Amino acid sequence: MIILTGGAGFIGSCFLATLNAAGREDVLIVDSLGSGQKWKNLVGHTYIDIVSKEDFRDMMAIGGLDEDVEAIIHLGACSSTTETNADYLYDNNYQYSVDVAEFAFEHDVRLIYASSAATYGDGSLGYSDRSSDLRPLNMYGYSKHLFDQWIRRQGMEGACVGLKFFNVFGPNEYHKGSMASLVSKAVGQINQNGYVQLFKSTDPAYSDGGQMRDFIYVKDVCSVMMRLLNQPDVNGVLNLGTGVARSWNDLMGAVFAAMGRETDIRYIEMPAELARQYQNYTQADMSTFQAVLPDVTFGSLEDSVADYVNGYLTREWPYL
C-alpha cells in the first residue's frame, strides 16, 4: 500500500493519476475534501479510501495501519504563503511531517516529502539544496525549512527524499484560489478582458513583468516522483525545478500563443504587503539532482503551457 497525503490536492491528485496509469490502485489518500470542488480531482481515479489527517495521525500513533505500507508520499500541507497563523503552520506543516517521518523511519517505509523553494527567501543566499543557512520570507517557507532541518539533524537525509518544489503549474489546481498558478488565472482574464495583468516591478534591476521564476509543469514533477518511488537508493533533499528561470512576461507570452491571441499585458501596482516578501528571481540549482538522476529532462515552458491550456483549461472537464 502507498499512503498519499494531500492526495486530493493539486500535485497529490496528479500523482494519483500517475500511480493509476502505472497500475497502482493500492493507494490510501489522506486529505480533507471540505465544501469546495476539490473532490473533482479524484473523479475517474482509483484508490482504497480517504481518511482525514487527524485520523491518520491517530492510526500512526496507535497502530491502526496495515503493516504492508510500501511508501508514504507526503504532500499534505498548507501551502498559502500569506497564512499568518504561525501555530497552525507549525503543527500542520512541521509537527505533522515529523510524525509522518518518525512512523516511516520506524517501519522502514519509503518516504518522499514536499519541501519548497519558499525556504530560500529572497534568494540572496543562493538556491543550493546543500545549504542549511536560509532566511524564508514567510511562515510557510519557514515551516518547510524547519522540517528540512529536522531531517538533517536526525541524520536521515540519506533515508528519504525531500523535494524543494519551485513554481509548479498544471491541471487540478483550480481549487487553490489565490494560490493557483498565473497560467490558470490568466486564461480566465484573457477570455473575459482580452488582456492579462501583471505586477509592476518594485526593484530597478527588473523591468515590469521581468521578474523571473523557475516554472515546472506538474506532469514533469509527477514523472520525477514516480522515478524516486521506484529508485529507493536515490535520497536527499533535492531541488525540483527545471534549472532555467523565465520571466512572467515569457510565461504570459506562452499563454497568449497557446490561445492563438496577440500578447496584451498590462501592469498594475504591487500591494505593499506582497512587495515585502516578494521573490524577484528564483532558479533551482539542479546540480545535486542531476548527479543522482542525470537522465531526467523537462519540457519547455512553451510546450508545457500549451499542453495545460489546450489540453485542460479550455476543456469542459479540465482535470487530469
Q: CATH number, domain at 262? A: 3.90.25
- For 181, the domain range is 174-212+245-279+308-313
Task: Compute the distance between CA of residue 197 and CA of residue 12 in angstroms, rounded to an integer.
Answer: 29
Q: Which residues in the chain land under pLDDT 50? A: none
Angstrom distances, CA of residue 237 to CA of 5, 27, 201: 19, 24, 32
Distance of alpha carbon 116 from alpha carbon 63, whole angstroms: 30
pLDDT at 179: 81
Examine residue 320 and state whether it is found in any structural domain, yes or no.
no
Same domain, 182 and 287: no
Considering the domain architecture, whether residues 229 and 184 belong to the same structural domain is answered as no
pLDDT value, residue 176: 85
Residue type at 294 in one-letter notation: P
Instruction: Say if residues 80 and 140 touch (Cβ distance below 8 Å).
Output: yes
SS (HEC) of 17-75: HHHHHCCCCCEEEECCCCCCCHHHHHCCCCCCEEECHHHHHHHHHHCCCCCCCCEEEEC
Q: How far is residue 301's CA from residue 214's CA, in Å, rounded to a whole number?
A: 10
Q: Are 211 and 281 in contact (CB under 8 A)?
A: yes
Map grid coordinates 493539486 to a residue: 10
- Please check whether residue 250 is in contact with residue 286, taking contact to mean a CB–CB distance below 8 angstroms: no
Judgement on whether residues 189 and 256 belong to the same structural domain of the protein: yes
Same structural domain, 294 and 273:
no
The pLDDT score that the predictor gives to residue 30 is 98
Residues 129 and 182 in one domain: no
Asked if the structure places residue 10 within a domain, the reply is yes
Do 196 and 143 sit in the same domain of this protein?
no
pLDDT reported for residue 240:
98
Does some domain include residue 143? yes
Q: Rounded distance, CA 216 to CA 144, Å?
A: 19
Query: What pLDDT sits at residue 264?
Result: 98
Please indicate, yes or no, if residue 319 is contained in any of the structural domains.
Answer: no
Specify whether 67 is located in the same domain as 184.
no
CATH number at residue 89: 3.40.50.720
Catalytically annotated residues: 140, 176
Question: 3-class DSSP state for residue 241?
Answer: coil
**In the prediction, which pLDDT does 200 show?**
96
Q: What 3-state class would DSSP assign to 184? A: helix
Give yes or no: residues 8 and 142 share one domain: yes
Tell me, yes or no, whether 157 lies in a domain: yes
Residue 290 lies in a domain: yes
The reply to whether 48 and 187 lie within a common domain is no
Q: Rounded to an integer, what distance in angstroms lies between the CA atom of residue 264 and that of residue 37?
A: 31
| Closest by Cα among 229, 237, 221 to 70 | 229
Inside any domain, residue 287: yes
Residue 114 sits in the same domain as residue 196: no
The percentage of the chain sitting over the pLDDT mark of 70, rounded to a whole number, equals 99
Provide the number of structural domains found in the chain.
2
- DSSP letter for 178, please: G
Asked if residue 132 and residue 6 are part of one domain, the reply reads yes
164 part of a folded domain: yes
Instruction: Please tell me whether residues 230 and 201 are part of one structural domain.
Output: no
One-character DSSP codes across 186-206: HHHHHHHHSSEEEEPPSSTTS
